[in-house]
Amino acid sequence: GAFMIENVRTIVEHAATKLYIVCRRKNLTAPKMVSWLISQTYQPGSASLLLRAFAPMYKLAGFDPWEYHSVRKDAARTTARIDQRTVFGVTDIYFLACYYKWAEVVESEIKRLTHHTVHLINGRKLEAQVILKVVGIIPDKKVDEVLSIQEMTGIHINGDPLRLCVSNGMHVSAQNFGTFSVGPAITGMSQTVQYFA
């Protein structure tokens, strides 16, 4: 997810010679230029346009964005929908690290650890001196308890129009993209909440 991608940058900045990203499956990451362009469009760009824009950086890294688990597409790759359980990380460093072989993405799970060795369930062994376990963001159920949330109806707690709660989504599910940033959406929602308060 996005949190792991941010760690790739930090690890590369500190001159690590090799970085393994072990994950059950790869999620899409956005190159910076594509993020900038999408955020400046008047009309949202389609998922197929987005994936075509991703393609040059993905090709550098040896990946094909159209083949990721989260992409639903037609055979001609003219239409697409992206459904993944994490937001896009935005970076160029990840792609460059993969291109220069500083980073390698390994789709598997850790079976066990021994001295300087990570044993994967697929039988592969990785030499490692440092391990970062990056799990991203997990929702805190205490917020639901404090606010007595049983269900959310839009932004209304338990359907009550006088009790509002605004937060950003933790997933991607779309065919069109106008921005990768949550800022504009949160700003608009905050203004709406303030107006009706």
Reported residue count of the chain is: 197
Query: Can you say whether residue 15 is alpha, beta or left, with left for phi > 0 and alpha for psi between -120 and 50 degrees?
Result: left
Show me where the domains of the chain are located. 2-127, 141-196
Q: Which of 38-42, 68-72, 133-137, 157-161 has the lowest mean pLDDT?
A: 133-137
- Across the range 66-78, mean pLDDT stands at 96
pLDDT in tens, 82-91: 999 888 888 9
pLDDT in tens, 174-196: 788 877 766 667 777 778 777 87
64: Cβ–Cβ under 8 A, 6 or more apart, which residues?
55, 58
Q: What pTM did the predictor assign?
A: 0.78
What tokens appear for 113 in the block? 């650890």
99 phi, psi to nearest 5 deg: -60, -45
Residue type, 136: G
Confidence of residue 39 (pLDDT cuts 50, 70, 90): confident
- Across the range 17-44, mean pLDDT stands at 90
CB neighbours of residue 185 within 10 Å: 14
130 phi, psi to nearest 5 deg: -135, 140
Mean pLDDT of the chain: 88
- Across the range 93-115, mean pLDDT stands at 95
Confidence of residue 197 (pLDDT cuts 50, 70, 90): low
Residue type, 187: T
